[in-house]
Amino acid sequence: MKPRVVSGMRPTGALHLGHYHGALKNWVRLQDDHDCHFFVADWHALTTHYRDHAGLSAQVYDMVVDWLAAGIDPDRTTLFIQSRLPEHAELFTLLAMTTPLAWLERLPTYKDARAADASRRLATYGFLGYPLLQAADILIYRASFVPVGADQAPHVEVAREIARRFNHVHGAAVLREPAMLTTDVAVLPGLDGRKMSKSRGNAIAMREAPDETTKKLRRMPTDPQRVHRSDPGDPARCPVWPLHEVYSDDATRAWADSGCRRGAIGCLDCKQPLIDAIVQQQAGWRERAERYLANPKQVEWIVELGTERARAAAKATMRDVRSAVGLGH
């Protein structure tokens, strides 16, 4: 039996290169030797965006198409949508009985978001409870590992504490404490050098058209001290450099590094191998995505089958949970 992995992503619509290198690429790799459960966290989207949900359904399916295009393999992986599994909400309710309020209130993600929330838009029970919901997402599959970024580490830690307390209170080893699976993933800078994000408008989509990608990369700022082509630069000061670390081989990197430092190449020369590599990668994604987009029924089926597979596992856990809390009747 392969160790079980669970992870979710909020439905943000079409994904960008930051999502791919920060999470999705790792998910694709994990499929080789893990029993993977990957889901669209659409309830989680509503914990913050409960008013503006007009595009939510389209965003869910756009994201699933990008997962498939990137190489998530529905034959090996259980791919599903959270809101189709009310079992997650049932576990959330039952875990709420033994979870101290202070564990949720003290989470840095919660405190930071509330401090920045002048409108009190996030002064809701749903937002406070979101890490508990996340714990239910994980514990219901008795997962061994949860691959998430560093920002989510406190949520995995609290999920472990919630499982431990539940087992302790009910005197039975019903829930498994999951471990966080950290991989050193590249934080890909956006077009302005800050972290890539759709809301900042600095992203390159996985399915971006080649001429758009080219235009965006050609316009991307470089080492500010290189005004003329012959000015020596320093890749460490350049927002483009991390892309070389992800996309270029050693020889190309050495060429770019020495060309930059000696003022022997222009920044557009330096960017060209990146443009070529990214456009080529996107072509593969676009081609696969188009096959799915031409056949939306197939995508629905993939999600349907994944959801039913997940449900079988979720139901088995819930039978044990109900009986542990006194609801075996």
Element of type H or E holding 275: helix 267-293
Out of 42, 87, 137, 208, point to the residue binding ligand TRP (CB under 6 A): 137
- Provide the minimum distance between the beta carbon of 26 and ligand TRP in the complex, in angstroms, as a whole number: 12
| Residue 138 is a binding residue for ligand TRP (CB under 6 A) | yes
Q: If contact means CB under 5 to 8 A according to the sort of partner, which of ligand TRP, ligand SF4, none does residue 241 touch?
A: ligand SF4
- Provide the minimum distance between the beta carbon of 32 and ligand TRP in the complex, in angstroms, as a whole number: 20
Q: If contact means CB under 5 to 8 A according to the sort of partner, which of ligand SF4, ligand TRP, none does residue 235 touch?
A: ligand SF4
> Distance (Å, rounded) from C-alpha 12 to C-alpha 205?
12
Out of 10, 84, 226, 286, point to the residue binding ligand SF4 (CB under 6 A): 226
- Does residue 209 sit in helix, strand or coil? coil
Site size toward ligand SF4 (CB under 6 A) is: 14
- Provide the minimum distance between the beta carbon of 105 and ligand TRP in the complex, in angstroms, as a whole number: 17
CB-count exposure of residue 309 (10 Å: 0-12, 13-18, 19+): middle
Out of 241, 247, 255, 285, point to the residue binding ligand SF4 (CB under 6 A): 241
- Is residue 285 a contact partner of residue 69, using CB atoms and an 8 Å limit? yes
> Distance (Å, rounded) from C-alpha 302 to C-alpha 81?
11
Nearer to ligand TRP, 184 or 250 (CB): 184
Out of 4, 10, 37, 286, point to the residue binding ligand TRP (CB under 6 A): 10
Q: Bridge partners of 79?
A: 38
Q: Which of 283, 273, 205, 197 is nearest to 241 (CA)?
A: 273
Residues in the chain: 329
| Residue 270 is a binding residue for ligand SF4 (CB under 6 A) | yes
Nearer to ligand TRP, 5 or 265 (CB): 5
> Distance (Å, rounded) from C-alpha 37 to C-alpha 142?
11
Restricted to residues 247-266, the positions that interact with ligand SF4 (CB under 6 A) are 256, 260, 265
Site size toward ligand TRP (CB under 6 A) is: 13
- Provide the minimum distance between the beta carbon of 208 and ligand SF4 in the complex, in angstroms, as a whole number: 20
Per-residue CA distances from 79 to 40, 98, 137 (Å): 8, 30, 13
> Distance (Å, rounded) from C-alpha 46 to C-alpha 10?
10
| Residue 30 is a binding residue for ligand SF4 (CB under 6 A) | no
Look at the block and give the residue holding tokens 């012959």: 230
DSSP alpha helix (H) spans, 49-180? 56-70, 86-96, 101-105, 108-115, 125-128, 130-139, 153-170
Out of 37, 44, 142, 160, point to the residue binding ligand TRP (CB under 6 A): 44
Phi then psi for residue 172, to 5 deg, are: -150, 145
Q: Among 1-9, 164-172, 267-275, 305-313, which window interacts with ligand SF4 (CB under 6 A)?
A: 267-275
| Residue 196 is a binding residue for ligand TRP (CB under 6 A) | no
Footprint on this chain of ligand TRP (rule: CB under 6 A):
6-10, 41, 44, 134, 137-138, 146, 148, 152
Footprint on this chain of ligand SF4 (rule: CB under 6 A):
222-223, 226, 233, 235, 238, 240-241, 256, 260, 265, 267, 270-271
